[in-house]
């Protein structure tokens, strides 16, 4: 029997409060929200630890957890650009979470099993230059959360941005479906049909969470997403968050569509997989009791997530699709080259 294929998690988050001069920040409203402490607990850190040891601690804990995983070999960790004002400047008052590319790229370069997932708000006046810069940093994809960042993927002004993404062969991982992790959002911007402009420009688009919740124009977002797979061979979707308690039944619903199996990518939505929200017990009504107990007993969150998704019907081929896509785009080789490009100054420091 062949060994299981190494898996790359294409959807992994980090967090930071600005400790250790990271440049990250979390808004006051978000820090007062119960979600903030929930996320820190799921990352396995405390606010005091971050203040004392710096925001790099979250990434080090992620890297350590991956090193202990038997199934997942690496994860794409996602930056988060902020909202920008009419002049294209970062609007801190409207931004809830900010994780700068420079900080994350540096730390992913240092930690061997973390891959850099960049974020650039396309309304920045120097957005195209930023795309070139993150590519030089070793970015393997670009992440958007339109409902939070105030980005309309259907905006015709974004055509030059999309063309540059296509030229750089940089996939766009864009949230689809309702966003419920922040204190405010405009979920109309997460309508999967708004991604058609990027798809028409030839961008490889990954619909995060497979548009698994919410509605637009009287249709479920999943219903709006599915026909796009037939029209656009450059469309993919990730399976992150589909085992959450508030999305019961979504993963089996997606897996009914055998025709899109080659376009489904493994993503964890870490740190959510390290919380009660994705406990296998929520799925006990679908799984044999012994199987549920076996999965619950798995300590590593990535291994537990993989086994739960397999038990619910995700195939080994699907689990390998993330790595296959990034390799086809040349992003894995490029990221490795960046990791190995150590300058004299870095060695001295």
Which comes out higher in pLDDT, residue 172 or 248?
172
Q: What does the block give as tokens for 210?
A: 């497979």
Would strands 219-220 and 215-216 be described as parallel, antiparallel, or unpaired? antiparallel
Domain span including residue 270 = 7-341
CATH number, domain containing residue 282: 3.20.20.140
Give the tens place of pLDDT for each residue, 149-184.
999 999 999 999 999 999 999 999 999 998 877 767
Percent over 90 (pLDDT), the chain = 83
Of 228, 81, 206, the closest CA to residue 151 belongs to 81
- Rounded CA-CA distance 225/349 in Å is 48
> How high is the mean pLDDT of the chain?
93
pLDDT for res 3:
55
Length of the chain: 349
Does any domain span residue 347?
no
pLDDT at 335 over 50: yes
Q: How sure is the predictor about 336, in pLDDT bands with cuts at 50, 70 and 90?
A: confident
pLDDT at 144 over 50: yes
Of 285, 243, 282, the closest CA to residue 266 belongs to 243
pLDDT at 345 over 70: no
Does any domain span residue 348?
no
Does any domain span residue 121?
yes
pLDDT at 269 over 80: yes
User: What are the DSSP calls for 125-191, one per residue?
Assistant: TTHHHHHHHHHHTT--EEEE-HHHHT--TT-GGGHHHHHHHHHHT--EEEE-S---SSS---GGGG-
Does any domain span residue 202?
yes
Does any domain span residue 2?
no
- Rounded CA-CA distance 327/171 in Å is 12
Q: How sure is the predictor about 346, in pLDDT bands with cuts at 50, 70 and 90?
A: very low
Q: How many domains does the chain have?
A: 1
| Long-range contacts of residues 123-127, Cβ cutoff 8 Å, at least 24 apart | 123/84, 123/88, 123/150, 123/151, 124/81, 124/84, 124/88, 125/87, 125/88, 126/88, 127/161
pLDDT for res 4:
61
- Rounded CA-CA distance 150/95 in Å is 10
């Amino acid at each position: 029997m062949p060994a299981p294929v190494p898996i790359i998690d294409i959807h992994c988050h980090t967090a930071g409060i600005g400790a250790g001069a990271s440049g990250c920040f979390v808004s006051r409203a978000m820090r007062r929200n119960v979600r903030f402490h929930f996320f820190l607990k799921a990352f396995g850190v405390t606010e005091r630890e971050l203040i004392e040891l710096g925001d790099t601690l979250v990434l080090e804990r992620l890297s350590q957890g991956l090193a202990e995983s038997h199934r997942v070999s690496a994860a794409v960790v996602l930056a988060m650009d902020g909202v920008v004002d009419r002049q294209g400047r970062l609007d801190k008052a409207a931004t809830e979470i900010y994780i700068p590319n420079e900080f994350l790229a540096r730390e992913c370069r240092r930690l061997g099993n973390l891959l850099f997932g960049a974020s650039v708000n396309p309304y920045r006046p120097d957005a195209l230059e930023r795309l070139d810069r993150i590519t030089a940093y070793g970015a393997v994809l670009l992440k958007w959360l339109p409902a939070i960042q105030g980005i309309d993927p259907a905006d015709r002004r974004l055509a030059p941005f999309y063309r540059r993404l296509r030229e750089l062969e940089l996939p766009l991982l864009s949230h689809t479906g309702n966003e419920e992790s922040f204190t405010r959002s405009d979920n109309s911007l997460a309508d999967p049909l708004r991604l058609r402009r990027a798809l028409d420009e030839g961008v490889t688009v990954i619909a995060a969470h497979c548009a698994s919740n919410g509605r637009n124009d009287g249709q479920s977002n999943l219903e709006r997403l599915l026909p796009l797979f037939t029209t656009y061979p450059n469309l993919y979707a990730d399976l992150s968050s589909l085992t959450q308690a508030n999305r019961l039944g979504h993963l089996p619903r997606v897996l009914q569509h055998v025709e899109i199996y080659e376009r489904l990518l493994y993503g964890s939505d870490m740190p959510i997989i390290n919380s009660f929200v994705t406990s296998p017990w929520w799925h006990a009504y679908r799984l044999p009791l012994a199987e549920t107990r076996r999965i619950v007993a798995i300590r590593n969150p990535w291994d537990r997530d993989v086994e739960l998704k397999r038990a619910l019907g995700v195939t080994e081929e699907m689990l390998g699709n993330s790595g296959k896509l990034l390799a086809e785009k040349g992003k894995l080789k490029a990221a490795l080259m960046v990791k190995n490009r150590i300058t004299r100054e870095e060695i001295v420091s």
